[in-house]
Protein backbone atom coordinates (compact mmCIF):
# COMPACT_ATOMS: atom_id res chain seq x y z
CA UNK A 1 0.00 0.00 0.00
CA UNK A 2 2.90 2.36 -0.51
CA UNK A 3 1.03 4.33 -3.14
CA UNK A 4 -2.09 4.95 -1.11
CA UNK A 5 -1.27 8.56 -0.47
CA UNK A 6 -0.04 9.41 -3.94
CA UNK A 7 -3.45 10.28 -5.18
CA UNK A 8 -4.53 11.90 -1.96
CA UNK A 9 -5.36 15.50 -2.91
CA UNK A 10 -4.28 18.02 -0.36
CA UNK A 11 -6.71 20.76 0.55
CA UNK A 12 -5.70 24.36 0.00
CA UNK A 13 -4.80 24.91 3.64
CA UNK A 14 -2.62 21.80 3.71
CA UNK A 15 -0.73 23.00 0.68
CA UNK A 16 0.26 26.35 2.22
CA UNK A 17 3.84 26.85 3.28
CA UNK A 18 5.31 29.53 5.50
CA UNK A 19 5.79 31.97 2.60
CA UNK A 20 2.08 31.79 1.88
CA UNK A 21 1.24 32.57 5.46
CA UNK A 22 3.73 35.41 5.53
CA UNK A 23 2.16 36.80 2.36
CA UNK A 24 -1.34 36.69 3.81
CA UNK A 25 -0.05 38.21 7.02
CA UNK A 26 1.49 41.15 5.14
CA UNK A 27 -1.70 41.71 3.11
CA UNK A 28 -3.97 41.58 6.15
CA UNK A 29 -1.58 43.68 8.23
CA UNK A 30 -1.58 46.26 5.46
CA UNK A 31 -5.33 46.47 5.45
CA UNK A 32 -5.43 46.75 9.24
CA UNK A 33 -2.94 49.59 9.00
CA UNK A 34 -5.15 51.30 6.41
CA UNK A 35 -8.17 50.76 8.62
CA UNK A 36 -6.51 52.22 11.70
CA UNK A 37 -5.25 55.21 9.78
CA UNK A 38 -8.15 56.02 7.46
CA UNK A 39 -11.28 54.42 8.91
CA UNK A 40 -12.90 57.82 9.43
CA UNK A 41 -12.96 58.39 5.67
CA UNK A 42 -14.76 55.10 5.01
CA UNK A 43 -18.32 54.00 5.45
CA UNK A 44 -19.26 50.51 6.65
CA UNK A 45 -19.35 49.14 3.10
CA UNK A 46 -15.91 50.44 2.31
CA UNK A 47 -14.51 48.88 5.48
CA UNK A 48 -16.08 45.62 4.36
CA UNK A 49 -14.49 46.03 0.92
CA UNK A 50 -11.11 46.73 2.49
CA UNK A 51 -11.05 43.50 4.45
CA UNK A 52 -12.84 41.65 1.68
CA UNK A 53 -10.06 42.71 -0.66
CA UNK A 54 -7.44 41.54 1.85
CA UNK A 55 -9.11 38.13 2.03
CA UNK A 56 -9.56 37.98 -1.73
CA UNK A 57 -5.96 38.85 -2.51
CA UNK A 58 -4.68 36.42 0.11
CA UNK A 59 -6.74 33.69 -1.49
CA UNK A 60 -5.76 34.62 -5.04
CA UNK A 61 -2.12 34.82 -4.01
CA UNK A 62 -2.32 31.35 -2.48
CA UNK A 63 -3.91 29.92 -5.58
CA UNK A 64 -1.62 31.70 -7.98
CA UNK A 65 1.77 32.38 -6.51
CA UNK A 66 2.87 34.78 -9.25
CA UNK A 67 -0.04 37.04 -8.46
CA UNK A 68 0.99 37.07 -4.82
CA UNK A 69 4.44 38.27 -5.81
CA UNK A 70 2.89 40.92 -8.03
CA UNK A 71 0.72 42.17 -5.16
CA UNK A 72 3.73 42.50 -2.88
CA UNK A 73 5.91 44.30 -5.43
CA UNK A 74 3.07 46.64 -6.43
CA UNK A 75 2.63 47.43 -2.75
CA UNK A 76 6.32 48.10 -2.18
CA UNK A 77 6.69 50.32 -5.26
CA UNK A 78 3.50 52.22 -4.52
CA UNK A 79 4.59 52.91 -0.97
CA UNK A 80 8.01 53.98 -2.25
CA UNK A 81 6.36 56.38 -4.65
CA UNK A 82 4.07 57.78 -1.97
CA UNK A 83 7.06 58.24 0.32
CA UNK A 84 8.87 60.17 -2.40
CA UNK A 85 5.91 62.49 -2.83
CA UNK A 86 6.11 63.64 0.80
CA UNK A 87 2.56 64.91 0.42
CA UNK A 88 3.50 67.40 -2.26
CA UNK A 89 1.97 67.12 -5.70
CA UNK A 90 4.58 69.23 -7.44
CA UNK A 91 7.30 66.71 -6.60
CA UNK A 92 5.92 64.50 -9.38
CA UNK A 93 7.92 66.56 -11.87
CA UNK A 94 10.87 67.36 -9.60
CA UNK A 95 12.09 64.12 -8.03
CA UNK A 96 14.00 61.94 -10.46
CA UNK A 97 12.39 58.61 -9.60
CA UNK A 98 8.91 60.10 -9.69
CA UNK A 99 9.42 62.05 -12.86
CA UNK A 100 10.87 59.15 -14.83
CA UNK A 101 9.60 56.02 -13.16
CA UNK A 102 6.85 55.81 -10.61
CA UNK A 103 4.68 58.88 -10.60
CA UNK A 104 1.33 57.67 -11.85
CA UNK A 105 1.78 59.27 -15.26
CA UNK A 106 5.27 57.85 -15.78
CA UNK A 107 4.33 54.41 -14.53
CA UNK A 108 1.39 54.25 -16.92
CA UNK A 109 3.61 55.41 -19.77
CA UNK A 110 6.03 52.60 -18.89
CA UNK A 111 3.14 50.21 -18.96
CA UNK A 112 2.23 51.42 -22.46
CA UNK A 113 5.77 51.06 -23.74
CA UNK A 114 6.24 47.64 -22.18
CA UNK A 115 3.01 46.29 -23.62
CA UNK A 116 4.12 47.32 -27.10
CA UNK A 117 7.54 45.74 -26.56
CA UNK A 118 5.96 42.59 -25.17
CA UNK A 119 3.74 42.25 -28.21
CA UNK A 120 6.62 42.60 -30.63
CA UNK A 121 8.62 40.08 -28.61
CA UNK A 122 5.74 37.59 -28.51
CA UNK A 123 5.35 37.73 -32.27
CA UNK A 124 9.09 37.37 -32.74
CA UNK A 125 9.04 34.34 -30.45
CA UNK A 126 6.19 32.85 -32.47
CA UNK A 127 8.05 33.47 -35.70
CA UNK A 128 11.33 31.99 -34.43
CA UNK A 129 9.64 29.29 -32.32
CA UNK A 130 11.93 30.43 -29.57
CA UNK A 131 10.97 29.42 -26.05
CA UNK A 132 13.51 31.80 -24.58
CA UNK A 133 12.14 34.80 -26.47
CA UNK A 134 8.64 33.82 -25.41
CA UNK A 135 9.81 33.82 -21.79
CA UNK A 136 11.21 37.30 -22.27
CA UNK A 137 7.91 38.45 -23.76
CA UNK A 138 6.04 36.98 -20.85
CA UNK A 139 8.36 38.74 -18.40
CA UNK A 140 7.85 42.03 -20.22
CA UNK A 141 4.09 41.60 -19.91
CA UNK A 142 4.43 40.98 -16.19
CA UNK A 143 6.51 44.13 -15.76
CA UNK A 144 3.97 46.10 -17.80
CA UNK A 145 1.23 44.89 -15.50
CA UNK A 146 3.37 45.78 -12.51
CA UNK A 147 3.88 49.35 -13.74
CA UNK A 148 0.22 49.68 -14.65
CA UNK A 149 -0.93 48.74 -11.18
CA UNK A 150 1.66 50.98 -9.55
CA UNK A 151 0.39 53.77 -11.82
CA UNK A 152 -3.19 53.27 -10.69
CA UNK A 153 -2.27 52.98 -7.02
CA UNK A 154 -0.21 56.16 -7.13
CA UNK A 155 -2.93 57.92 -9.10
CA UNK A 156 -5.33 57.03 -6.31
CA UNK A 157 -2.97 58.72 -3.88
CA UNK A 158 -2.37 61.71 -6.17
CA UNK A 159 -6.11 62.37 -6.36
CA UNK A 160 -6.07 62.94 -2.60
CA UNK A 161 -3.18 65.34 -2.94
CA UNK A 162 -5.36 67.53 -5.15
CA UNK A 163 -7.93 67.73 -2.40
CA UNK A 164 -9.31 65.40 0.21
CA UNK A 165 -12.77 65.82 -1.29
CA UNK A 166 -11.42 65.16 -4.79
CA UNK A 167 -9.71 61.86 -3.94
CA UNK A 168 -11.25 58.69 -5.33
CA UNK A 169 -10.41 55.24 -6.65
CA UNK A 170 -9.10 55.56 -10.22
CA UNK A 171 -11.91 53.78 -12.03
CA UNK A 172 -14.08 56.81 -12.64
CA UNK A 173 -13.48 57.84 -16.26
CA UNK A 174 -12.53 56.36 -19.62
CA UNK A 175 -8.82 56.97 -19.21
CA UNK A 176 -8.65 55.16 -15.90
CA UNK A 177 -10.80 52.22 -16.95
CA UNK A 178 -8.79 51.77 -20.12
CA UNK A 179 -5.69 51.27 -18.00
CA UNK A 180 -7.68 48.87 -15.84
CA UNK A 181 -8.85 47.05 -18.96
CA UNK A 182 -5.26 46.52 -20.17
CA UNK A 183 -4.20 45.22 -16.77
CA UNK A 184 -7.09 42.83 -16.24
CA UNK A 185 -6.92 41.43 -19.75
CA UNK A 186 -3.17 40.91 -19.40
CA UNK A 187 -3.56 39.23 -16.00
CA UNK A 188 -6.26 36.89 -17.25
CA UNK A 189 -4.06 35.99 -20.15
CA UNK A 190 -0.98 35.45 -17.98
CA UNK A 191 -2.99 33.18 -15.73
CA UNK A 192 -3.96 30.91 -18.59
CA UNK A 193 -0.52 31.19 -20.12
CA UNK A 194 0.98 29.69 -16.97
CA UNK A 195 -1.70 27.09 -16.58
CA UNK A 196 -1.90 25.84 -20.14
CA UNK A 197 1.55 26.89 -21.35
CA UNK A 198 0.26 28.87 -24.28
CA UNK A 199 2.89 31.56 -24.81
CA UNK A 200 2.17 31.42 -28.53
CA UNK A 201 -1.04 33.34 -27.89
CA UNK A 202 0.59 36.36 -26.25
CA UNK A 203 0.96 38.21 -29.53
CA UNK A 204 -2.75 37.80 -30.22
CA UNK A 205 -3.96 38.91 -26.82
CA UNK A 206 -1.62 41.86 -26.79
CA UNK A 207 -3.19 43.06 -30.02
CA UNK A 208 -6.34 44.02 -28.19
CA UNK A 209 -4.39 45.34 -25.21
CA UNK A 210 -2.26 47.51 -27.46
CA UNK A 211 -5.35 48.83 -29.20
CA UNK A 212 -6.33 50.07 -25.77
CA UNK A 213 -2.82 51.41 -25.24
CA UNK A 214 -3.16 53.35 -28.48
CA UNK A 215 -6.39 54.79 -27.19
CA UNK A 216 -4.77 55.76 -23.89
CA UNK A 217 -1.96 57.57 -25.72
CA UNK A 218 -4.32 59.45 -28.01
CA UNK A 219 -6.55 60.25 -25.08
CA UNK A 220 -3.60 61.51 -23.05
CA UNK A 221 -1.89 63.63 -25.67
CA UNK A 222 -4.84 64.91 -27.63
CA UNK A 223 -7.42 65.31 -24.92
CA UNK A 224 -5.30 65.57 -21.78
CA UNK A 225 -7.65 63.06 -20.28
CA UNK A 226 -5.09 61.93 -17.74
CA UNK A 227 -5.75 64.93 -15.52
CA UNK A 228 -7.59 63.91 -12.40
CA UNK A 229 -11.10 65.31 -12.17
CA UNK A 230 -13.33 65.32 -9.11
CA UNK A 231 -16.30 62.95 -9.05
CA UNK A 232 -19.75 64.06 -10.09
CA UNK A 233 -22.27 63.42 -7.30
CA UNK A 234 -23.76 60.32 -8.97
CA UNK A 235 -20.39 58.54 -8.86
CA UNK A 236 -19.72 59.24 -5.20
CA UNK A 237 -20.64 55.83 -3.97
CA UNK A 238 -19.02 52.70 -2.62
CA UNK A 239 -20.72 50.82 -5.47
CA UNK A 240 -18.19 52.19 -7.92
CA UNK A 241 -15.44 50.24 -6.18
CA UNK A 242 -17.05 46.90 -7.02
CA UNK A 243 -19.25 47.58 -10.04
CA UNK A 244 -16.52 48.92 -12.30
CA UNK A 245 -13.76 46.33 -11.61
CA UNK A 246 -16.27 43.47 -11.92
CA UNK A 247 -17.36 44.85 -15.26
CA UNK A 248 -13.82 45.03 -16.50
CA UNK A 249 -13.07 41.46 -15.57
CA UNK A 250 -15.99 40.72 -17.89
CA UNK A 251 -14.78 42.97 -20.71
CA UNK A 252 -11.21 41.71 -20.32
CA UNK A 253 -12.25 38.05 -20.42
CA UNK A 254 -14.46 38.59 -23.48
CA UNK A 255 -11.60 40.34 -25.27
CA UNK A 256 -9.24 37.53 -24.37
CA UNK A 257 -11.74 35.01 -25.72
CA UNK A 258 -12.07 36.94 -28.96
CA UNK A 259 -8.32 36.99 -29.49
CA UNK A 260 -8.10 33.27 -28.81
CA UNK A 261 -10.94 32.86 -31.29
CA UNK A 262 -8.89 34.76 -33.85
CA UNK A 263 -6.00 32.36 -33.31
CA UNK A 264 -8.44 29.46 -33.56
CA UNK A 265 -9.83 30.65 -36.88
CA UNK A 266 -6.37 31.22 -38.35
CA UNK A 267 -5.16 27.86 -37.16
CA UNK A 268 -8.23 26.05 -38.48
CA UNK A 269 -7.60 27.67 -41.88
CA UNK A 270 -4.05 26.38 -41.87
CA UNK A 271 -2.40 29.68 -40.97
CA UNK A 272 0.26 29.33 -38.25
CA UNK A 273 -1.23 25.95 -37.41
CA UNK A 274 2.11 24.37 -36.61
CA UNK A 275 3.08 27.22 -34.30
CA UNK A 276 -0.14 27.64 -32.37
CA UNK A 277 -1.50 25.35 -29.64
CA UNK A 278 -3.90 22.64 -30.78
CA UNK A 279 -7.45 23.55 -31.65
CA UNK A 280 -8.70 21.66 -28.57
CA UNK A 281 -6.59 23.83 -26.29
CA UNK A 282 -7.72 27.01 -28.04
CA UNK A 283 -11.33 25.94 -27.87
CA UNK A 284 -11.01 25.11 -24.20
CA UNK A 285 -9.34 28.42 -23.43
CA UNK A 286 -11.98 30.34 -25.32
CA UNK A 287 -14.71 28.59 -23.37
CA UNK A 288 -13.03 29.13 -20.02
CA UNK A 289 -12.48 32.76 -20.62
CA UNK A 290 -16.04 33.39 -21.79
CA UNK A 291 -17.29 31.49 -18.74
CA UNK A 292 -15.26 33.73 -16.42
CA UNK A 293 -16.34 36.79 -18.35
CA UNK A 294 -19.98 35.83 -18.26
CA UNK A 295 -19.97 35.15 -14.53
CA UNK A 296 -18.31 38.48 -13.75
CA UNK A 297 -20.35 40.41 -16.27
CA UNK A 298 -23.52 39.04 -14.70
CA UNK A 299 -22.36 40.06 -11.25
CA UNK A 300 -21.28 43.48 -12.52
CA UNK A 301 -24.63 44.09 -14.18
CA UNK A 302 -26.49 43.08 -11.04
CA UNK A 303 -24.29 45.36 -8.94
CA UNK A 304 -24.92 48.09 -11.48
CA UNK A 305 -28.67 47.57 -11.15
CA UNK A 306 -28.42 47.78 -7.38
CA UNK A 307 -26.41 50.99 -7.66
CA UNK A 308 -28.88 52.40 -10.17
CA UNK A 309 -31.65 51.69 -7.69
CA UNK A 310 -29.84 53.92 -5.23
CA UNK A 311 -28.67 56.67 -7.56
CA UNK A 312 -31.20 56.89 -10.39
CA UNK A 313 -34.35 55.78 -8.65
CA UNK A 314 -34.79 52.40 -10.28
CA UNK A 315 -32.81 49.23 -10.79
CA UNK A 316 -33.49 49.29 -14.50
CA UNK A 317 -34.17 52.37 -16.62
CA UNK A 318 -33.47 51.05 -20.12
CA UNK A 319 -30.65 53.54 -20.26
CA UNK A 320 -28.48 52.91 -23.38
CA UNK A 321 -25.60 51.59 -21.26
CA UNK A 322 -27.89 49.25 -19.36
CA UNK A 323 -29.54 48.08 -22.53
CA UNK A 324 -26.24 47.39 -24.22
CA UNK A 325 -25.03 45.53 -21.15
CA UNK A 326 -28.13 43.38 -21.55
CA UNK A 327 -27.36 42.83 -25.21
CA UNK A 328 -23.82 41.74 -24.40
CA UNK A 329 -25.19 39.45 -21.72
CA UNK A 330 -27.76 37.95 -24.08
CA UNK A 331 -25.07 37.45 -26.71
CA UNK A 332 -22.84 35.40 -24.44
CA UNK A 333 -25.81 33.63 -22.86
CA UNK A 334 -26.69 32.40 -26.34
CA UNK A 335 -23.05 31.42 -26.93
CA UNK A 336 -22.94 29.39 -23.73
CA UNK A 337 -26.29 27.82 -24.53
CA UNK A 338 -25.02 26.59 -27.85
CA UNK A 339 -21.88 25.18 -26.35
CA UNK A 340 -23.07 23.74 -23.08
CA UNK A 341 -26.52 22.54 -23.96
CA UNK A 342 -26.04 21.68 -27.59
CA UNK A 343 -22.41 20.69 -27.29
CA UNK A 344 -21.51 22.80 -30.31
CA UNK A 345 -17.80 23.29 -31.07
CA UNK A 346 -15.75 24.69 -33.88
CA UNK A 347 -15.37 27.77 -36.07
CA UNK A 348 -18.95 29.00 -35.62
CA UNK A 349 -18.38 29.65 -31.93
CA UNK A 350 -15.03 31.25 -32.69
CA UNK A 351 -16.64 33.61 -35.18
CA UNK A 352 -19.35 34.31 -32.68
CA UNK A 353 -16.95 35.25 -29.93
CA UNK A 354 -14.98 37.43 -32.35
CA UNK A 355 -18.17 39.27 -33.29
CA UNK A 356 -19.00 39.33 -29.60
CA UNK A 357 -15.97 41.55 -29.15
CA UNK A 358 -17.52 44.11 -31.49
CA UNK A 359 -20.72 44.09 -29.49
CA UNK A 360 -18.76 44.33 -26.25
CA UNK A 361 -16.67 47.19 -27.59
CA UNK A 362 -19.77 49.05 -28.61
CA UNK A 363 -21.28 48.57 -25.16
CA UNK A 364 -18.05 49.73 -23.55
CA UNK A 365 -17.07 52.56 -25.88
CA UNK A 366 -19.61 53.07 -28.62
CA UNK A 367 -22.42 53.88 -26.21
CA UNK A 368 -20.29 56.66 -24.75
CA UNK A 369 -19.45 58.01 -28.19
CA UNK A 370 -22.74 57.78 -30.04
CA UNK A 371 -25.54 57.51 -27.53
CA UNK A 372 -26.38 59.65 -24.57
CA UNK A 373 -27.99 58.72 -21.33
CA UNK A 374 -27.64 58.60 -17.60
CA UNK A 375 -24.41 56.62 -17.78
CA UNK A 376 -22.36 59.29 -19.56
CA UNK A 377 -19.32 59.40 -17.32
CA UNK A 378 -16.71 58.83 -19.98
CA UNK A 379 -17.57 61.00 -22.94
CA UNK A 380 -15.05 61.42 -25.71
Partner 1 sequence: MRFAVSLLSVLGVASVIGTVLKQNEPYENYIVKFGQFWFALFEYLGLYDVYHSVWFLVILLFLVVSTSLCIYRNTPAMLKEWRTFKDHATEKSLRAFSHQATFNLSGDYAGTKQNLLQFLNAKGFKYKIKAQEGGSELIAAKAGTHQRWGYIFTHVAMVVILFGGLLDGNLPFKVQEMLGHKRIETLDLPVSKVPAESRMSVSNPSFRGNMTLSEGATHNVAFLRVRDGYLVQELPFAIGLKDFRIEHYATGQPKSFESDLVIFDPELKEPITKTISVNHPLTYKGIAIYQSDFQDGGTGLKFNVWNLFSPGDKPRVLSGAIFDEGALGEGDDLLRVEYNDFRKFNIINMSPDGKGKPHNVGPNVTYKLRDNRGQAIEYVTYMQPMQIDGKFYFLSGMRETVQEDFRYLRIPADDDLSIDGFMGFRAVMLDASKYQEIAKRIAKKSLEGSGNSEIKKQFELSLVRLLTIFAQGGYSEVAKVIEQSVPEAEREASATTYIKMVNIAAYEAYNMGLELNKKPLLKNTSETEALMRDSLNAFSDMFFYGAPYYLQLNQFEHKEASGLQLTKSPGQKWVYLGSVILVLGIFSMMYIRERRIWLYLKPSANEVHFAMASNRKNLDFEKEFSLYREQLAGIVS
Q: Contact residues for partner 1 (CB under 8 A)?
A: 1, 3-4, 6-9, 163, 165-166, 224, 229-230, 232-234, 236-237, 280-281, 284, 287, 291, 294-295, 298-299, 302, 305-306, 309-316, 318, 320, 323-324, 326-327, 330-331, 333-334, 336-338, 340-343, 367, 371-372
Name the residue among 101, 205, 186 with its Cα closest to residue 151.
101
Buried b (16+ CB within 10 A) or exposed e, 139-172: ebbbbbbbbbbbbbbbbbbbbbbeeeeebbbbbb
Residue 76 or 232 with smaller CB distance to partner 1: 232
11/87 Cα distance (integer angstroms): 45
Shortest CB 135 distance to partner 1, Å: 24
Taking phi first (over 0 means left), then psi (-120 to 50 degrees means alpha), and beta for anything else, what does residue 39 get? alpha
Residue 125 or 357 with smaller CB distance to partner 1: 357
- The answer to whether residues 257 and 293 touch, using CB atoms and an 8 Å cutoff, is yes
Shortest CB 107 distance to partner 1, Å: 24
Shortest CB 370 distance to partner 1, Å: 8
Residue 33 or 88 with smaller CB distance to partner 1: 88
Shortest CB 136 distance to partner 1, Å: 27
Shortest CB 318 distance to partner 1, Å: 4
Residue 125 or 260 with smaller CB distance to partner 1: 260
For 82-130, the DSSP string reads: HHHHTT-GGGGGTSHHIIIIISHHHHHHHHHHHHHHHHHHHHHHHHHT-
Runs of H (alpha helix) within 269-319: 279-311
Residue 266 or 338 with smaller CB distance to partner 1: 338
Shortest CB 18 distance to partner 1, Å: 26
Residue 47 or 371 with smaller CB distance to partner 1: 371
75/149 Cα distance (integer angstroms): 9
CA distances from 342 to 108, 260, 268, 289, 305 (A): 44, 21, 21, 19, 31
Shortest CB 103 distance to partner 1, Å: 21
Shortest CB 303 distance to partner 1, Å: 9
End-to-end alpha carbon distance in the chain: 68
Task: Output the 3-class SS for 48-81.
Answer: HHHHHHHHHHHHHHHHCHHHHHHHHHHHHHHHHH
Residue 120 or 166 with smaller CB distance to partner 1: 166
Q: Is 274 exposed, middle or buried (0-12, 13-18, 19+ CB in 10 A)?
A: exposed
Residue 23 or 307 with smaller CB distance to partner 1: 307
Amino acid sequence: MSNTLDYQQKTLLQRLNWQDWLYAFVVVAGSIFAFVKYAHYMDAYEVAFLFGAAALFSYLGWQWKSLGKLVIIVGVLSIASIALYQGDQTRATEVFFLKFLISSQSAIMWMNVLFVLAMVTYWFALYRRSAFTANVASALTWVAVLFGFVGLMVRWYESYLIGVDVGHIPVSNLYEVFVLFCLITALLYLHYEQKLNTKQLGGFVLLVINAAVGFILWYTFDREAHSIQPLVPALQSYWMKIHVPANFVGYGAFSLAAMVALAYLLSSKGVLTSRLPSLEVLDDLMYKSIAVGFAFFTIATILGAMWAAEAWGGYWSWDPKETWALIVWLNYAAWLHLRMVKGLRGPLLAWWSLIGLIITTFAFLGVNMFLSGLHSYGTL
